[in-house]
């Protein structure tokens, strides 16, 4: 049996074994975070080239098609869940119109929904006249060369190009590649353009090395476009950061471990396309680090508002257990013309939580830079947050969420609704990011009580937190308190023996069917705190041993409670 000190320093956390020895010489405090995210993280790249433009520069006869390139990635690259080929759109880059349609067809034939989604698009433009735009979701070749396009767009007319992409809505997006300050019709020197903003979802903050032949993951990119990205944010554009490989040789996904990480429910084309459209992706030097980042429960890429100060949370979940050196939270004002600056710094911790006190009717954007112990960096997409000047006019009388069979049942009631429009039900399985679940239209009015109910159709698979995001007709919103529903009915039992105790050890067994942080406190008869320990409970029975001969004779109370005090139970024992 290991001592408590050995438990803390053992190499195999996160949980105690089911037997713990407690001494009275010190107070023990510790906490372990166990994230069970509701969404999934998919690692890949959307900027690479096939033989259909200027890829396969070594002219390997085994890789003359886009299909063979997709198969290479799936079979040979590590830590890749999806892949995009974006060949040049013009003959100068090697593209002929029939080849573009071959690429579309071959991506369709190699696409493996749920296993390895593949995407084919175009890299539009010529650097000498304005840079490159990665475009996905348009199956027609956009170009300017006679006889070599399906849709005409003049070579340097980025206004027309972005308007064309924006007109496709959620079915297409534009993404900026290896951007310099004068590119794309002066996007960084001209005023903010809302239509362009609706077309462009992000840009690469690292790219290449485009002509590398490395297949050992050792050739790191030297091109860094972070400053261009920060400048787009300060102008007011809503963009997320990506990580490009820009392969022109047959080494897809193997040049280095950098990845664009997409946060989406499912590993399929539709889900990943939607994630790109809503800017739910981030840039990572690390090929499997999962970053849970939210502002008041709104995840990466969200443009949101609420009548509260923004609550910023971040958790780093790295399967390789790499340590985190620092987490920097940046904030800025969109459209201010000033770059984002550091708001909060956390060091040597895999998580952080911070509430930013801001005036009403103000808007800020927040994003994080994470630095790992090996020097790898990760940049999250921002969250754009507005603090509402007013709240929807109503009284929330009651809001409950309880387990009903294998589902969660929500009930709430309001009084004196005025201009209330609808209720968004949001839920989370990690207490960091809340996802939309359903909408209920408001039915109340002044002087009347309105009653609402909703049964979550999803089967409970873990503890789930629910909240209401209540909107009025002006788009202002207010968040309700949070309610938790557990997979199993709560069970909690304390047993102490021997009781009364003499000089022998006292055994305390705790039976619980939840995994959560708990506090154990022992009080003497006069109310003095003798022991205060925070630990992580396990499902089943957890046993504690403490030496009775360290206690004076008398009556004691042992109390257990959890973080939200839904458990607050105590027993008494005697030391004689």
Output the CATH code of domain 290-389.
2.60.40.730
Q: Is the pTM of this model over 0.85?
A: no
Task: Please give the class, per CATH, of domain 393-485.
Answer: mainly beta
pLDDT band at 32 (very low <50, low <70, confident <90, very high): very low
pLDDT at position 57 over 60 = yes
Nearest Cα neighbor of 35 from 560, 515, 533, 563 is: 515
pLDDT in tens, 481-538: 888 888 766 566 787 878 888 888 888 877 776 677 788 888 888 888 888 787 777 6
Q: Compute the mean pLDDT over every residue in the chain, rounded to the nearest whole number.
A: 88
* DSSP string computed for 90-145: SGGGT--HHHHHHHHHHHHHH-BTTTB-EEEEEEES-GGGT-EEEEES--S-EE-S
Q: Do domains 4-32+488-575 and 40-288 have the same CATH topology?
A: no
Alpha-carbon gap, residue 17 to 7, rounded angstroms: 8
pLDDT at position 35 over 70 = no
Whether residue 247 is preceded by a cis peptide bond, meaning omega within 30 degrees of 0, is no
Whether residue 197 is preceded by a cis peptide bond, meaning omega within 30 degrees of 0, is no
Alpha-carbon gap, residue 382 to 547, rounded angstroms: 52
- Domain residue ranges in the chain: 4-32+488-575, 40-288, 290-389, 393-485
| Residue 288 CA, distance from chain mean position | 13
pLDDT band at 565 (very low <50, low <70, confident <90, very high): low
pLDDT in tens, 310-352: 999 999 999 999 999 999 999 999 999 999 999 999 999 999 9
Q: What is the CATH architecture of 40-288?
A: Alpha-Beta Barrel (3.20)
Are 122 and 133 in contact by the 8 Å Cβ rule? The answer is: no
If you search the block for the tokens 């539709």, which residue do you land on?
270
Alpha-carbon gap, residue 194 to 290, rounded angstroms: 31
Regarding the domain delimited by 4-32+488-575, which CATH topology (the fold level of the hierarchy) does it fall under? Answer: Immunoglobulin-like (2.60.40)
pLDDT band at 33 (very low <50, low <70, confident <90, very high): very low
pLDDT at position 30 over 60 = no
pLDDT in tens, 274-306: 999 999 999 999 999 999 999 999 999 999 988
Percent of the chain with pLDDT over 90: 66
Rounded to 5 degrees, φ, ψ at 27 are -100, 130
């Amino acid at each position: 049996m290991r001592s408590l000190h050995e438990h803390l320093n053992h190499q195999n956390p996160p949980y105690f074994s089911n037997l713990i020895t407690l001494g009275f010489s010190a107070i023990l405090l510790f906490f372990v975070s166990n994230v069970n995210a509701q969404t999934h993280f998919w690692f890949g790249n959307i900027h690479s080239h096939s033989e259909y433009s200027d890829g396969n520069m070594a002219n390997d006869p085994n890789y003359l098609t886009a299909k063979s390139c997709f198969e290479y990635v799936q079979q040979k690259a590590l830590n890749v869940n999806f892949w995009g080929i974006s060949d040049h759109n013009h003959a100068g880059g090697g593209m002929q119109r029939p080849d573009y349609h071959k690429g579309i067809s071959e991506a369709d034939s190699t696409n493996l929904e749920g296993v390895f989604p593949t995407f084919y698009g175009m890299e539009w433009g010529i650097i000498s006249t304005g840079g490159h735009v990665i475009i996905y979701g348009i199956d027609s070749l956009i170009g300017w060369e006679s006889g070599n396009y399906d849709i005409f767009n003049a070579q340097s007319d980025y206004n027309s190009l972005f308007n064309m992409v924006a007109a496709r809505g959620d079915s297409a997006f534009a993404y900026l590649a290896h951007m310099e300050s004068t590119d794309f019709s002066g996007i960084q020197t001209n005023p903010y353009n809302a239509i362009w903003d609706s077309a462009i979802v992000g840009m690469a903050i690292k790219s290449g090395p485009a002509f590398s032949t490395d297949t050992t993951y050792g050739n790191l990119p030297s091109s860094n476009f972070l400053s261009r990205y920060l400048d787009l944010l300060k102008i007011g554009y809503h963009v997320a950061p990506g990580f490009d490989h820009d392969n022109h040789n047959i080494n897809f996904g193997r040049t280095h471990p950098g990845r664009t990480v997409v946060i989406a429910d499912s590993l399929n084309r539709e889900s990943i396309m939607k994630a790109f459209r809503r800017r739910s992706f981030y840039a990572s030097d690390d090929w499997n680090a999962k970053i849970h980042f939210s502002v008041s429960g709104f995840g990466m890429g969200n443009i949101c508002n609420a009548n509260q100060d923004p609550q910023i949370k971040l958790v780093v979940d790295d399967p390789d257990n790499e340590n985190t050196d620092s987490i920097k939270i940046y904030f800025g004002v969109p459209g201010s013309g000033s770059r984002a600056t550091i708001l909060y710094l956390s060091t040597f911790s895999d998580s952080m939580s911070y509430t930013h006190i801001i005036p009403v009717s103000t808007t800020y954007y927040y994003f994080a830079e994470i630095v790992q112990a090996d020097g790898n960096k990760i940049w999250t997409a921002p969250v754009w947050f507005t603090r509402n000047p007013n709240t929807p006019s109503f009284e929330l009388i009651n809001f409950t969420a309880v387990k009903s069979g294998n589902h969660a049942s929500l009930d709430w009631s309001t009084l004196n609704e005025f201009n209330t429009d609808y209720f968004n039900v949001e839920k989370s399985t990690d207490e960091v990011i809340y996802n939309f679940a359903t909408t209920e239209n408001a039915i109340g009015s002044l002087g009347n009580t309105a009653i609402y109910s909703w049964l979550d159709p999803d089967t409970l698979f873990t503890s789930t937190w629910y909240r209401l995001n209540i909107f009025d007709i002006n788009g202002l919103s207010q968040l309700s308190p949070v309610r938790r529903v557990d997979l199993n009915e709560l069970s909690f039992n304390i047993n102490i023996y021997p009781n009364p105790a003499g000089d022998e050890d006292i055994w305390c067994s705790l039976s619980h069917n939840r995994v959560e942080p708990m506090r154990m406190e022992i009080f003497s008869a006069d109310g003095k705190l003798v022991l205060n320990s925070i630990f992580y409970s396990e499902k089943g029975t957890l046993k504690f041993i403490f030496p009775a001969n360290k206690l004076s004779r008398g009556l004691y109370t042992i109390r257990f409670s959890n973080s939200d005090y839904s458990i607050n139970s105590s027993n008494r024992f005697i030391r004689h």
